[in-house]
Chains A and B, each alone.
Chain A
Amino acid sequence: QVQLQESGPGLVKPSQTLSLTCTVSGASISSGSHYWNWIRQPAGKGLEWIGRFYSSGNTNYNPSLRSRVTISVDTSKNQFSLKLSSVTAADTAVYYCASQLRSKDNLAYWGQGSLVTVSS
């Protein structure tokens, strides 16, 4: 059973970079067997897919966020990370990490979510 846990600052100032980490247990990121995703959800709104990392350095990003997003992994810590630059209040949301086995599978495993507020 794959378990995911998000961590990172709960408050980020406008124009700065949001950084979150997802720690994985029950699976090895270095094995290349999963796709590692980030999703967010503003309060009272729907889910928005941000992007994913898979297979030795490949990434896919939401076209609407691509210019500001970077997803990377640290295999030594079995973690993957999200960086979102130049944040505004519109980036305030609960951020989830999630995993899938194959490219068109559902997002089978989710973290509990991490609230990030963008405010000065």
Chain B
Amino acid sequence: SYVLTQPPSVSVAPGKTARITCGGNNIGSKSVHWYQQKPGQAPVPVIHYDSDRPSGIPERFSGSNSGNTATLTISRVVAGDEADYSCQVWDSSGDHGVFGGGTKVTVL
């Protein structure tokens, strides 16, 4: 089965840039979706199809995907960005969803 690997945690100072990686075998050939999840809340999509932002998501959120790594970048981080972020793909058959383990972003 396909495996997505994320770092457990990332710390960033306010106003700086946070980069969250999602590793997978040839993940660049797949479309990656990213979700933000705050404590006690359901996940919220922040990036779909590698780099597209859903309506209402700030331009500070961006994504890229190449080779074996996809990256979610949060620029000019604010306290409200503190959350868990998870990547997600559909496997090669297109029939099964796969999530990364999630990365907790802490704003210092």
Contact = CB atoms under 8 A, between A and B. Distances in A.
A37 B42 contact: no
Contacts, number: 64
Interface residues of A, number: 24
27 contacts: A39-B97, A45-B101, A46-B86, A46-B99, A46-B102, A47-B35, A47-B99, A48-B99, A49-B88, A49-B99, A60-B95, A60-B96, A63-B1, A64-B1, A96-B42, A103-B95, A104-B90, A105-B33, A105-B48, A106-B45, A106-B49, A107-B33, A107-B88, A108-B48, A108-B54, A110-B43, A111-B42
A96 B37 CA distance: 13
Interface in B50-108: 54, 86, 88, 90, 94-102
Given A107-B45, A110-B43, A49 B94 contact: no
B31 interface: yes
A81 B36 CA distance: 25
A96 B40 CA distance: 12
Given A46-B101, A106-B33, A106-B88, A63 B96 contact: yes
A43 B95 CA distance: 26
Interface in A6-32: none
A33 interface: no
B1 A104 contact: no
Given A45-B102, A104-B90, 13 more contacts: A46-B100, A47-B43, A47-B86, A47-B88, A48-B99, A49-B96, A49-B98, A62-B96, A105-B48, A106-B33, A106-B48, A107-B33, A107-B45
